[in-house]
Amino acid sequence: MAHVITANDLKTKGVTILNSETSEGSEVIITVRGKSRYVVLPIEKYNYLRECELEAALVEARKDIKEGKFIKESVEKHIKRITRG
């Protein structure tokens, strides 16, 4: 479960509060004026989530290739197509 701290807690206690709140691998939600605004998580958890995101993109790309949903063209044609120039 995520821990919640206020922006004021972060301001007064600094990184120390983040170290203690994320020590068990949980994320920390930082609130500003009572609204959730930011999430801080341990780098290991971030790296894992990023790896999952990249794996999902790879699965999607492989599916598109299998279904023929791609364009094969030169660099020049690609640039022209995406810039509509």
DSSP secondary structure, 10-55, as one string: HHHHTHHHHHHHTTTS--EEEEETTEEEEEE--HHHHHHHHHHHHH
Structurally, how many domains does the chain consist of? 2
Question: Does one domain contain both 57 and 36?
Answer: no
pLDDT at 85 (0 to 100): 59
Question: Does one domain contain both 35 and 48?
Answer: no
Question: Does one domain contain both 37 and 49?
Answer: no
**What are the pLDDT digits (tens) for 13-64?**
999 999 888 888 889 999 999 999 999 999 999 999 999 999 999 999 999 9
pLDDT at 7 (0 to 100): 95
With a cut of 90, say whether residue 83 has pLDDT above it. yes
Question: Does one domain contain both 53 and 25?
Answer: no
pLDDT at 20 (0 to 100): 87
With 0-12 / 13-18 / 19 or more C-beta atoms within 10 angstroms meaning exposed / middle / buried, residue 10 is buried
- Which of the pair, 1 or 36, is modelled with greater confidence? 36
Structural domain range at position 74: 44-83
Question: Does one domain contain both 33 and 62?
Answer: no
> pTM higher than 0.85 for the full model?
no
- Quote the CA–CA distance of 83 and 66 in Å, as a whole number: 27
Question: Does one domain contain both 52 and 66?
Answer: yes
